[in-house]
Structure 1
Amino acid sequence: MNDEEWALVRDLLPVPGWLAGRNGRPEGYCHRQMIDAIRYLVDNGIKWRSMPSDFPPWPRVYAFFARWRDTGLVAEVHDRLRDAVRVAEGRDQEPSAAIVDSQSVKADATVALTSRGFDVGKKANGRKRHLLTDTLGLLLDVLVTPASTTDRDAARILLGVTLDIVRRSDDTRGFEVLPRRWAVERSFAWCLRSRRLARDYERRTDTSEALILWSMTMLTSRRVTARHQGPAQMRAV
């Protein structure tokens, strides 16, 4: 992160327990170092053990990642950044409509058989990412399942509201832009810019979900920063 981006992200970070008078002790490394290391891993698709030496040691970075995953802090930071983008776009923080769709990705050998499946339609042996986004394509929720899971079953977990299913017409051939669905398709494309997400390498599905959140956090933090810097930078994001 550059200094402008860090200045915005820092104000949205949760207050550490030790600083708020709760239990715990100060971190050995500052949050900016840890967050930059995780973003580097997600963006460039490296292994944890391949963390460059100018970042903190990889076990410390992974411990930070796991703690934020397990306590929901990465989701909290992501949601705050998403809300900031919506406000900057002139929208309410709470969206009135949402879009859900899925993407099947191949799984690496590290993914256990119990958490992978075969998507007959996409001919993919791996996992399926289910994204719930607003109409801007910003992430509202994410669920990672075996690729054999149907979209309808996953939607029951993600949603508790009325569904409006957008279907293709029977005589359509090839790609067709469908109402609203293009927004979530673009979100999948945004995620695939992060090389760690080109394939599912994670042993746990909640780790896969956390990496998607980190990927979208990079997008939202850059968009918020660009909004503060001016329209020229916004067009480049």
Structure 2
Amino acid sequence: MSKDYPSNLTRDQYELLSDLLPAAKPGGRPRSVDLWEILNAIMYVLVEGVQWRALPGDFPPWPTVYTYFRNWRQDQTWITVHDQLREWVRIEQDRRAQPSEAVIDSQSVKSAAFVDEAVGYDGGKKIKGRKRFAVVDTLGLVVRVLVTAASVPEREGGQQVLTRVKEMGAAIARLNLIWADGGFDGPAFMMWVMDTCRWIVKVVLRPQQTKGFVVLKKRWVVERTFGWLMGCRRLARDYERLPETSETLIYLAMIRIMVRRLA
């Protein structure tokens, strides 16, 4: 049993998640690790920002922990768990399980020096690294994310992440309105969303002649979500060689937030 780290899941939180995790594969050697400890180790990496090899010795061996993380990324387990928790949180907040409105935005973050895949320069924010495109519901809960090079324009990345949202099918059947900032403005992008996704895009622009921080209608929701993600040191900078791994860690950060609300 590992020490009582701040990132650990409580027993109630683990019990909530355990029903959503895949059962051990039939045949072969029986599963010998405690999934509670595996999840605690993954959350430790996420929150504390350490390397997999730097996991404290009271957790299971790091190759075992990473194998579970990687396998559940590849078979979409993390996204499945994430989507179920989002529906439960919405219902607990007296909302319908399916959102009718969503907010889209992007966040550019610096990448680590050794990261060389999907890395670019965001001239507007003067950041070399990667860009996180996020679509969230009006509670700030992530619907889908996309991690690209920071050089990818807003409208191009917006089309890619909204395509992922559309592929969710019945899970977003009620969705009809997308709130966005000026980076996603323009008739070409709006027509693409209407023709491809059958949604309406409403752009919220910053008032002219204003200085400093301004709370903008709907847009503040996704900005708050980006703030939540920065509470995890592994997400303060992009350390992942693969953008798909970065996306998985964002879903994991939201899983941690949602399970703490539910249990």
Q: Give runs of aligned pairs for residues 45-194 of structure 1, distance below 5 A.
A: 45-112=49-116, 114-159=117-162, 160=197, 161-194=199-232
TM-aligned CA distance change 1:27 to 1:103, over 3 Å: same
SS in 1 for 2:200: coil
Identity %: 45
Q: Encode CA deviations 1:20-41: one digit per residue, 9 max, x unaligned.
A: xxx7654331221111110010
1:3 alignment partner in structure 2: 11
Deviates more, 1:2-11 or 1:92-101: 2-11
The yes-or-no answer on 1:207 pairing with 2:245 is yes
Q: 1:13 aligns with which of 18, 21, 27?
A: 21
TM-score (norm 2): 0.80
TM-aligned CA distance change 1:111 to 1:13, over 3 Å: same
Q: Structure 2: 5+ residue runs without aligned partners? A: 1-8, 163-196
1:196 alignment partner in structure 2: 234
Q: Encode CA deviations 1:42-90: one digit per residue, 9 max, x unaligned.
A: 0110111100111111111111111011111011111111111111111
Q: Encode CA deviations 1:140-189: one digit per residue, 9 max, x unaligned.
A: 00100000111111111122333212221332222211110111101000
Q: 1:40 aligns with which of 17, 26, 44?
A: 44
CA distance in 2, matches of 1:13, 1:122: 39
- Which 4+ stretches in 1 moved above 6 angstroms? none
CA distance in 1, matches of 2:74, 2:25: 15
Contact kept in structure 2, 1:110 and 1:202, CA below 8 Å: no
Q: 2:34 aligns with which of 26, 30, 35?
A: 30
Q: Give runs of aligned pairs for residues 222-237 of structure 1, distance below 5 A.
A: 222-225=260-263
| CA deviation after TM superposition for structure 1 residue 12, in Å | 2.6
CA distance in 2, matches of 1:69, 1:143: 14
CA distance in 1, matches of 2:12, 2:204: 40
SS in 1 for 2:203: coil
SS in 2 for 1:148: coil
User: Which residue identity is paired with 1:175?
Assistant: F
CA distance in 2, matches of 1:57, 1:145: 31
TM-score (norm 1): 0.89
Q: What is the RMSD computed on CA atoms of the aligned residues? A: 1.4
